[in-house]
Amino acid sequence: MSKPPSGRDKASRQTRLLHAGSPMELEARTVAPPVQRGSTVLVANAKALYDTSKPTYGRLGLSVQNALAEAVGAVEGCGPARLFSSGLAAVTGTLQALLKTGDEVLVTDCVYGPSRRFLDGVMKRYGVSARYFAPDASPDVVMAMAGPATRLILLESPGSLTFEIQDVPAIAKAARERGILTVLDNTWGVGLLYEPLALGVDVSVQALTKYVGGHSDVFMGSACSIDAKLLARIDAYLRDAGIGVSPDDAYFMLRGLRTLEVRLARHGENALKVAHWLQDQPEVKQVLCPALAGAPGHDLWKRDFKGINGLFGVVLQPGSEDATEAFIDTLTLFGLGFSWGGFESLAIHCDPQLGYRTAHRPLGGPLVRLHVGLEDPQDLIGDLRGALDAYAAATR
């Protein structure tokens, strides 16, 4: 019997069709990393199949995810970030990585709503309880709530609807002395405006979806820490739960990150112009922007933050729900949408979201949240003037 043909060159057309043109080596070095789409990773020899020092499977990410992780870490002031499929997944994944049945979490009452829903739903079912403290509570009040089961304090500063600032360095220090972990949702601070890890926080989490992506077209989240033991627990969670991000999403996120600093500076500049103008309008009761003197949290912001972004709140003079809807519906340059951090301006009315809070302080009028984008701020001011006119007409 004749021997079957062996080797690639002698293979049939059908086999060559499957193996010809496989990627071997990069042809050129480019500014952006290669987008390696790969579930299967091919290794060089039998020994390498079980060499855990190099990737042997693509789920946890390859070149582009690693490049992004390093860049996000540089923004947060640490080594490579751990990546999750969304900001919410970064919050919920970090909590799952660090908590166990019987633990209790103390949470700022201004925490992002879906983070709260996860704690009160999924985590409760797994035997982890949560209690909430007023976002402007003093560190002493927060620490007095801690009991023997308290394992973690979840912070978010400023809150992304009501913009209270927490005394994070004091809470983090007191928590560490009692062996309690601190995790902070740093989506507003982005790392460039606020550095929780340098202020003593154990894990800084971000929705990269917002300013890092910057174009309202991609989801992702990150968790950063300088504590190797905590990182090992987050890594184990990612590995065991099978969590990774797609190379294409990572590519877009990295592309956004390259212009983060200049975009953020312009968002902040524009927001300040719009906020100052709003302060002087008769229909406005208060502007909840921590950079304004007299705004809640202003002193802590001045001490701990390096700037502002485009997101802040506006409390209108008392008026009906219909009048608030007239304000929102009159806007033409501000889109109506539940996000922020993209290049464009957005607005929502917030009161329907505040009901579930346990420590809500009455604001004295309807709350509207604005995200000031990269448009000409004078155009945005014109749009807001029209909306305030509609509010005033509907309130009369």
Residues with a catalytic annotation lie at: 59, 112, 185, 210
Q: What is the CA radius of gyration of the chain?
A: 24
Element (H, E) at 64: helix 63-76
Question: What is the dihedral angle through the alpha carbons of 314, 385, 333, 308, rounded to the nearest 10 degrees?
Answer: -40
C-beta closer to ligand PLP: residue 151 or 369: 369
> What number of other Cβ atoms are within 10 A of residue 126's Cβ?
12
Q: Out of 86, 92, 108, 281, which residue is the one contacting ligand PLP (CB under 6 A)?
A: 86
Q: To the nearest whole angstrom, how small is the minimum distance from the Cβ of residue 350 to ligand PLP?
A: 12
Told to check if 160 binds ligand PLP by CB under 6 A, we report: yes
Nearer to ligand PLP, 98 or 146 (CB): 98
Q: Which of 187, 204, 286, 330 binds ligand PLP (CB under 6 A)?
A: 187
Q: How many positions of this chain bind ligand PLP (CB under 6 A)?
A: 12
Cβ density class 6-21: b for 16+ within 10 Å, e for less: eeeeeeeeeeeeeeee
Which residue from 126, 131, 136 is spatially nearest to 151, judged by alpha carbons? Answer: 131
- 3 state DSSP class of 285: strand
Taking CB under 6 A as the criterion, the residue among 67, 68, 88, 295 binding ligand PLP is 88
Q: For ligand PLP, which is the closer residue by CB, 65 or 86?
A: 86
Near ligand PLP by CB under 6 A: residue from 61, 73, 80, 87: 87
- Interface positions, 328-347, toward ligand PLP (CB under 6 A): 339
Binders of ligand PLP among residues 193 to 252 (CB under 6 A) are 207, 209, 219, 221
CB of 219 to ligand PLP, least distance (A): 5
CB of 256 to ligand PLP, least distance (A): 13
Residues 97-136 that bind ligand PLP (CB under 6 A): 112
Q: Give the other-Cβ count within 10 Å of 287's Cβ.
A: 23
Strand partners, 217: none
Nearest approach in angstroms of CB 233 to ligand PLP is 21
Q: Measured at CB, which residue is nearest to ligand PLP?
A: 87
Sheet holding 82-84, edge to edge: 82-84, 221-224, 203-207, 181-185, 150-156, 104-108, 129-133
Interface region with ligand PLP, contact rule CB under 6 A, candidates 59-67, 85-93, 174-182, 261-269: 85-93
Residues 6+ apart with CB under 8 A from 356: 113, 116
On whether the CB atoms of residues 253 and 208 are closer than 8 A, the answer is: yes
Identify the CA nearest to 161 among candidates 3, 342, 326, 369. 369
Q: Given the rule CB under 6 A, which of 86-94, 120-128, 141-149, 355-363 is the region that contacts ligand PLP?
A: 86-94
**Closer of 143 and 197 to ligand PLP (Cβ):** 197
Residue type, 139: P
Query: Could you give the CA distance from residue 234 to residue 239 in angstroms, rounded to a whole number?
Result: 9
Instruction: Specify the stretch interacting with ligand PLP by CB under 6 A; choose among 29-37, 81-89, 273-281, 284-292.
Output: 81-89
For residue 111, the minimal CB distance to ligand PLP (Å) is: 8
**Residues 40-59 as x/- pattern, contact with ligand PLP by CB under 6 A:** --------------------
Min dist. Cβ of residue 100 to ligand PLP (A): 23
Stretch that binds ligand PLP, among 83-91, 118-126, 196-204, 329-337 (CB under 6 A): 83-91
Tell which residue, 184, 164, 177, has the closest CA to residue 91.
184
- In the complex with ligand PLP, the residue whose CB is nearer, 112 or 391, is 112
DSSP 206-239: EETTTTTT-SS----EEEE-S-HHHHHHHHHHHH
Tokens found for residue 78: 């640490």
Q: Which residues bind ligand PLP (CB under 6 A)?
A: 86-88, 112, 160, 185, 187, 207, 209, 219, 221, 339
